Chains A and B, each alone.
Chain A
Amino acid sequence: MEIVTSQLANGVVVGTTIALTALGLTLIFGIMHIVNLAHGEFYALGAYFTWVAYSLLNKFWVSAAIGIVATAIIGAALLMIFYDKLKGAGPLRWALLTLGFGYVLRELMQLVFGTDFKLVAPPLEGTIPWAGGVYRIAVTVAGLLLILALALFLKKSRYGVLIRAIANNRDAAALVGVSTKTIYTWVALISAGLAGAAGAFMLPVTSAYPTMGLEIMIMAFVVVVVGGMGNIQGALIASLLAGLAQSLLTLIVEPTVATIIVLVAFMLVLVVRREGLQKLW
């Protein structure tokens, strides 16, 4: 029985990680209409940057903050560098451009860090019966707090209002002086930062390795589509579902098979309900 509850707890951790990554994806999609195929690499960058900072400073939470900020800056720089050149380009060209970024980033990380696992000991020790490691719980709480902060930021803050205005009606926002490029830069920073946060938080759990981004990105895309593209609440719930399903399935089948089952199940949802799980809640 304890193995089931600890897998449940694990599922919540995985779900939170997917949610952080997926929210970045859904933000950039909902506001800039970009399918960012390099998003998974931002997650990996977050983990690697944190690892580098940790090996220099030996303080995990500070290193995580550094990792997140560095990822946000690099991610936003990549997304905005060709923004003017790609003005008016459809989703296809953006998808291919970010795919190209993905190739380059993944290979660079492999060149710089090698293919071995970069380990970091969890900053919080000890376990809680029925629930697993203390660090995992702390990370879940931190992740959910971050998501809450994002929701509040979008709802209440100055930039939040401007971001929602652009997402809702780009022209009407521009006509009263909202600079789309500035807002997009902010959105790109937040989006990459969220992926970086997920990567930084998972570093002590999964350690860092070059293909980690690819794996999480697939899941993130699944939940973004199923949760209703551009829909934050939907992505959050779908993420937790996917994380739980995957963790529980690994009790009975191989991890790859668990991934396949989750993938196929979610795609079936999409076939049955075109708008995904949106509007079910």
Chain B
Amino acid sequence: MLKVQNLCAGYGPVQVLWDINLAVPARKVVCVVGRNGVGKSTLLNTIAGLADRRSGALCLSGESITQLSTAQRARSGIGYVPQQREICPDLTVEENLLVPIYALGLEPAKLSAVYGRFARLKERRYQVAGSLSGGERKLLAFARVMLCSPKIFLIDEPTEGLMPSAVVEISGLIARCREEGAAVLLVEQNLQVIEAVADRIHLMNSGRIELTLDKFDEAQIVKYLGV
């Protein structure tokens, strides 16, 4: 589904990623693991078009997306749930959900479908999104992105700082995304979540992928997490 070839990227003059190669097939969850600051978020940002690509290619279902803007990438099937600043905090929950509906010209009925799936968002529909709890914020961010029916989800540390019950809910959500046919590229530090959902694991260190595991291997992962 998504192919990343020889990608080098960064922010302005600062290069963060060196020669990244990876592929995320449909109905698979690929995990990226590494310490803070090794460039995991930059990788997702670059794929979504928020960081500056230096060289290398990005392909989504066989078509190059390297020249597309962030919004165009979102329209062509990249669904990114960033770790921070993932919603519009001053808008209400409902307005947050209306943004993709209006931007993509979807039917308004989609809104009730979302509310059917996320009852908690319906309860809080007129509340300002900035006042939601961490878990609810994540749900809202997921719901927004799901409205765009992406081919691949890029998800950055969705369980960071959440309560255990919310962690379970989010990993269930990731599994659902996979079952519904999407590919998932997940950045995660939580070992339980990794073990539960990952089909393949890339271990990153200082801007490069150093090791790829096709099976959960706690010893190796812990080494790269540096706990």
Contacts and interface: CB of A to CB of B under 8 A. Distances in A.
Interface of A: 158-159, 161-162, 164-165, 168-169, 171-181
B11 to A, nearest CB: 11
Main secondary structure of the interface of B (DSSP, over half): helix
B98 interface: yes
Interface string B57-72: 0000000000001111
A162 B101 CA distance: 10
Main secondary structure of the interface of A (DSSP, over half): helix
A176 B86 contact: no
B71 A179 contact: yes
Nearest to A155: B95
10 contacts: A161-B98, A162-B103, A171-B85, A172-B85, A172-B86, A172-B144, A174-B69, A174-B70, A176-B145, A176-B147
B91 A176 contact: no
A179 B98 CA distance: 15
A279 to B, nearest CB: 15
Given A164-B91, A171-B85, A179 B48 contact: no
Interface of B: 48-50, 69-72, 74-75, 79-80, 82, 85-91, 95-96, 98-100, 102-104, 144-145, 147-148
B88 A175 contact: no
Nearest to B147: A176
Contacts of A175: 48, 70, 74, 79-80, 82, 145
A245 to B, nearest CB: 31
Contacts of B98: 161
A93 to B, nearest CB: 16
A179 B70 CA distance: 8
Nearest to B146: A176
Given A176-B144, A176-B145, A162 B99 contact: yes
Contacts of A181: 69
Given A169-B87, A173-B88, A181-B69, 14 more contacts: A161-B91, A164-B88, A165-B99, A168-B88, A169-B88, A171-B82, A174-B49, A175-B79, A176-B74, A176-B147, A177-B74, A177-B104, A179-B72, A180-B71
A18 B224 CA distance: 60
B95 A176 contact: no
A172 B100 CA distance: 10
A35 B143 CA distance: 35
Contacts of B80: 175
Contacts of A165: 88, 91, 95-96, 99
Contacts of A179: 69, 71-72, 103
Given A162-B99, A175-B82, A178-B99, A168 B71 contact: no
A170 to B, nearest CB: 9
A176 B89 contact: no
Contacts of B95: 161, 164-165
A168 B89 contact: yes
- The CB with the most chain A CB atoms within 10 A, among B74, B99, B102, B145, is that of B99
